[in-house]
Amino acid sequence: MSHAKLRPGPRRTSCLTCRQRRKKCDLFKPFCEVCLRGGFECLGYPDSDPPSSSSVQGKNPHARAFSCPGPDHPTIPAQVASLGTIDSATPEGYQCPNRTPTNHSLEPSILGVAALYAMFIPASSAHDGHTTIHCLEDFDCSWPQRQIQLTTYRSSQIDEPSSSWCSGEMFGASLGDDCLIRALKNLCDSIPQSIDATQMIGEGHFVQTIHEYRLKRVNNWFMTPPMSIHGPLLSRMRRSKTTIWCIYLGAQLFRAFSQDPFGTTARRYVGWVDKLEQKFSTDSCKNPSPDDISDRLFNQLELAYLKFVTTDSISGYILLQKALPGFLRLVATDADLYMEDPNGHLTVSFTRTISASRHELNRFIMYDTTAAFVLGVPPLVNYGYGDECDSASLLEWIHGIPTVLVETISRVNNWRAGSRADNWKVLEERVLSWQLRLIKADGEDSVLESMARLAVQESWRHVALIYIYMGMCEVSSHDSRVQSSIRQIIQLGELVANLSIEIHMFVHYVVAGIGAQLEKHRSFIYDRLVSFKGTRVWLFNGPQFSQVLDCLWHGAGAAGGPVMWDDYVWARHTVAPI
């Protein structure tokens, strides 16, 4: 009995994901909205290439994952990593070991639902009541070359979606420079309040990227901080999505600079620092809470730091100036942080504010004091002094400068700005009587590390003395007291040369270079400053100030001639005008 040859049935049209889940597909292309609403990765249709690698289809067809369209963008795993891993001690370039998945169900991930809801799902506009579609220029497409190289936590190998997913032609428009800002705003504004930012940051690629960045930053600190120092940052990231994006941008910027500081990618990231700063300058709520003001100030200081390190000192200082209103507003929320001066005017208490529990206040004062000192400009804030300083402040952990000495430098700044309230002999006595002491860091320190820290702190004493003599007493660099301190700084600098902690000698080298007479001292200082570049920077970029000193040495200081502090300020203005 012959059998009739059966004709093939109709071609299957459901997407591969809906077929695996046995769900009805809406056939929407390029992404099935049934999958998107559920937070699942749409694997595409049988008549087109799937948007993920074959490992998803062949090796683990039931792996739960979410993928933002973009080249080389790995899918985000279901397992939510702990936020605490961001600051755990892990070697740079660490790769998470393969883990056997314990849950293969196709449940939606938190970040998948939130991000897809933000970028692809129709949402009701609060302004006109009509339904609108969020910007399809997703976050990944807005980075340079529309590409992000990310390390993620996965249960198996990384999947790589097709690069055609992120083409500008797909969206019918080219990607502008402000796409990042629009994408960030759409994402942040649209994520439901019920979704915790902590859980978001715990997902996938954010964790490893930010972890590497924080590890790099902490490694540049004067000493390893206690775990309690990390608490405020983690709390801020839980409540502020903009803080997450600022730190993430910094992470990508540091990564780009470590690869090619003069490349197109690095330059474009620097441009996005300006874009993000403009958003902070224009967007403000009418009655912000102290936490809102604090978060905004933190973000502005983070962007100013990125400018200081990656661009130049003047660009960073301009952003620091823009952070001044936020600093004053935050100080105004606490009556203990301001005081009356002898004339009855309100001033910011330097001592209380620099030891305040909100670390962004300490950070602003440190930046303001150092910028006024090194750039030769008046401080942004009129500080008041009076209380005793606690030398064990956060500044000593991060920057290695005791509070007694940074307050002395701040007092000289105020004197040069016209205050004239302090007597130089009193300040000199405070600096000379300050007792050098070693603060024990967490863990065991080698003898070399302990000696290096003592060298940096002792050098700060001589920096303060030179500033008192040249900046306040207005003596020349040929004064015997100045030359004695310069020799001490050079000797201590030779002890820490080429060590990681040497980046904290930046100010010391600049101050010693102002009055250096001998060519061997000038050559040593010049070489050390030139080495402070890329991501090996404490706050200011070394090569720029090597040019300032070179201008000074060929001007007033030619042939070892006497130099006044105002000569240095003039040289700085010539090389890097504000």
Give the burial string for 112-151 (b: 16+ CB within 10 Å, else e). Answer: bbbbbbbbbeeeeeeeeeeeeebbebbbbbbbbebbbebb
φ, ψ of residue 347 to 5 degrees: the values are -135, 160
Q: How far apart are CA 203 and CA 82, in angstroms?
A: 9
Residue ranges of the domains in the chain?
11-97+105-190
- Stretch 224-238: mean pLDDT, rounded? 63
**Contact status, residue 197 vs residue 244, Cβ threshold 8 Å:** yes
Q: Which of 461, 400, 394 is nearest to 433 (CA)?
A: 461
110: left (phi over 0), alpha (psi -120 to 50) or beta: alpha
Higher pLDDT, 20 or 339: 339
Higher pLDDT, 89 or 352: 352
Give the model's pLDDT for residue 180: 42
Q: How many CB atoms lie within 10 A of CB 531?
A: 16
**Residue 283: pLDDT band with limits 50, 70, 90:** low
The percentage of residues in the chain with a pLDDT greater than 70, rounded to a whole number, is 61
Q: How far apart are CA 468 and CA 515, in angstroms?
A: 14
Q: How far apart are CA 247 and CA 239, in angstroms?
A: 14
Q: Which of 496, 479, 491, 501 is nearest to 562 (CA)?
A: 479
Give the model's pLDDT for residue 236: 64
Residue type, 127: H
Residue type, 176: G
User: What is the per-residue pLDDT across 24-51, written as a single tens digit (0 to 9) for each?
Assistant: 888 877 667 777 666 676 777 775 444 4
- Stretch 494-509: mean pLDDT, rounded? 93
**Residue 63: pLDDT band with limits 50, 70, 90:** very low
Give the burial string for 380-409 (b: 16+ CB within 10 Å, else e). Answer: bbbbbbeeebebebbbbbbbbbbbbbbbbb
Tokens read off for 571: 């040289």
Give the model's pLDDT for residue 153: 34
Q: Where are the alpha helices (DSSP H) in 376-433?
A: 394-398, 403-416, 424-433
Residue bearing tokens 């293969």 = 104
Would you list the DSSP string of 121-169? S-EE-TTTS-EEPPPSS-GGGGSGGG--------SSSPP---GGGG-HH
Q: How far apart are CA 264 and CA 267, in angstroms?
A: 5
The percentage of residues in the chain with a pLDDT greater than 90, rounded to a whole number, is 35
Q: How far apart are CA 519 and CA 530, in angstroms?
A: 16
Low-confidence winner among 149-163, 314-328, 551-565 (lowest mean pLDDT): 149-163
5: left (phi over 0), alpha (psi -120 to 50) or beta: beta
Residue type, 80: V
What helix, strand, coil percent values describe the chain, rounded to 5?
Answer: 55, 5, 40
**Contact status, residue 67 vs residue 159, Cβ threshold 8 Å:** yes
Residue 123 bridge partners (DSSP): 132
Which one-letter DSSP state was computed for residue 349?
A: E
Q: How many CB atoms lie within 10 A of CB 570?
A: 17
Low-confidence winner among 43-52, 135-144, 341-350 (lowest mean pLDDT): 135-144
User: What is the per-residue pLDDT across 539-576, written as a single tens digit (0 to 9) for each?
Assistant: 888 999 999 999 999 999 999 999 999 999 999 999 99
Q: Classify burial at 470, counting beta carbons within 10 Å of its beta carbon; exposed 0-12, middle 13-18, buried 19 or more.
A: buried
Contacts of 450 (CB under 8 A, 6+ apart): 438
Residue bearing tokens 């990618």 = 265
Would you list the DSSP string of 492-551? HHHHHTTSGGGGGGHHHHHHHHHH--SHHHHHHHHHHHHT--TT--SSS-HHHHHHHHHH
Higher pLDDT, 411 or 101: 411
Strands lying side by side in the sheet with 383-384: 338-340, 346-349, 383-384
Q: How far apart are CA 141 and CA 166, in angstroms?
A: 6
Helix (H) / strand (E) element for 306: namely helix 290-310
Give the model's pLDDT for residue 20: 82
Tokens read off for 62: 């039931």
**Contact status, residue 51 vs residue 178, Cβ threshold 8 Å:** no
Q: Where are the alpha helices (DSSP H) in 376-402?
A: 394-398
Tokens read off for 178: 């402000």
> Strand (E) positions, 8-136?
65-66, 76-77, 123-124, 131-132
Higher pLDDT, 255 or 91: 255
Give the model's pLDDT for residue 232: 62
